[in-house]
Copies of this chain bind each other. A is one copy, B any other.
Amino acid sequence: MNMPTAGFSFRVTSTSGLARTGELQTPHGLVETPTFMPVGTQGSVKTLTPNEVAATGARIVLGNTYHLWLRPGAETVDSFGGLHSFAKWPHSMLTDSGGYQAFSLAERRKFSEDGFTFQSHLDGSKHHLSPEEAMRVQGLIGADIAMQLDVCPPGKAPREEVEKACAITTRWARRCLAARRVDQAVFGIVQGGSHVDLRRAHADELGALPFDGLALGGFSVGEPVAEMHETLPQVAPHLDPARPRYLMGVGTPRDLVIGIRSGVDMFDCVLPTRNARNGQALTRTGRVVIKQARYKQDKSVLDPECECPCCKGGYSRGYLRHLFLAGEILVLRLFSAHNLHVYGQLVREAREAIRAGTWEAFEQRWSQSGTAEQSGA
């Protein structure tokens, strides 16, 4: 199917149950789905070069509008030719709207029908983020895909608050589409918490608008993980199958497997890179918390079958532990690359399994991965 915006298209290439593979075309290349988007919060996927990020298999990354807006400023990014050129990332890129961080990070935030007013967590400067401003700022940053401004209630919000969030998100959806840059794709964001009926109704409302894709927001925001796992298969398939489906801020390898099985095409999460910087490496058989004394004499690499620079480089767990305890930056790089390679491998194997009709074996293989993880946004 052609997406409403010129230069963008999406087509489903194979299915297995609700899971599907697809091709998302943007002006910066082809993205095979299901895909995982590493997070480049401040114009850099933390610790890594663009080449290293691409080597994990990633062909699309996420940039955080809130952070870039405050520093170095959207106009500055624009003056360098946009974020692709500024950060030397040649492939596809998506920005969030800034709303989530404005709500979670900023100080003295106020919310009204018109948007969020808040003070910067960096210098206390005052800002107003309306649907129109979110689109203007994302237009300046210049990613291939922009996200609408939405209202994301916490995971334990009462039903009434969730209903209100859906309603205002729909009104903001229309304002965002009216204010969009014509050459930038825009995705709508479906809210509704863990209420399947609200989710479906909101998916229908936003699906009726000319969005290029539809996202599921408001998951992994404090609700029990089991609740998300139960809701996803009832909700994701309800999103227009002709458009890409994006599950925002999720999650663990296990969450991705369940999301893909439910028909989701795109994911992003800081977990692989944040865990890396906390000294945690993800492997198919669980986590390695490298500071543990058990690794002091461990001569083995993280995973002898992994193709990442950490494992291929032959760095032993004992050496990696030493680097972590000594505060050496090298281990943060190696773990970041490793964890993103694990995610890259996960979505690549998922695509292969969907195409080959071997989903069960794939899910079995990954079932032990990161089940104990908090996904976080």
Residues of A within 8 A of B (CB): 42-44, 46-50, 67, 71-72, 76, 79-80, 86-88, 296-297, 299, 309, 313-316, 318-319, 321-323, 325-326, 328-330, 332-333
Contact = CB atoms under 8 A, between A and B. Distances in A.
A76 B318 contact: yes
22 contacts: A42-B322, A42-B326, A43-B322, A43-B323, A46-B330, A47-B329, A47-B333, A48-B330, A49-B309, A49-B313, A71-B325, A71-B326, A72-B318, A72-B322, A76-B296, A80-B319, A86-B318, A86-B319, A88-B313, A88-B315, A88-B319, A329-B332
A328 B46 contact: yes
B322 A333 contact: no
Contacts of A322: 42-43, 71-72, 76, 86
Contacts of A309: 49
B316 A44 contact: no
Contacts of A44: 323, 326, 328, 330
A47 B318 contact: no
Nearest to A50: B313
A328 B329 CA distance: 11
- So how many copies of this chain end up in the complex? 2
Contacts of A314: 88
Chain A contact residues: over half helix, strand or loop, or mixed?
loop
A132 to B, nearest CB: 26
A246 to B, nearest CB: 25
A264 to B, nearest CB: 30
Nearest to A67: B326
Contacts of A67: 326
Contacts of A72: 296, 318, 321-322, 325
Contacts of A48: 330
Nearest to A70: B326
Nearest to A323: B44
Contacts of A76: 296-297, 318, 322
**A-B complex: 6 closest residue pairs judged by Cβ atoms:** A42-B326, A72-B322, A47-B329, A44-B328, A44-B330, A86-B319
Contacts of A329: 46-47, 329, 332-333
A309 B48 CA distance: 12
A104 B322 CA distance: 23
A121 to B, nearest CB: 13
Contacts of A79: 297
Contacts of A297: 76, 79
Interface centre among A43, A71, A329, A332 (most CB of B within 10 A): A329
Nearest to A79: B297
A178 to B, nearest CB: 31
A80 B317 CA distance: 11
Nearest to A332: B329
A193 to B, nearest CB: 33
B319 A87 contact: yes
Given A42-B328, A44-B326, 4 more contacts: A46-B328, A47-B333, A49-B330, A71-B322
Contacts of A316: 80, 86
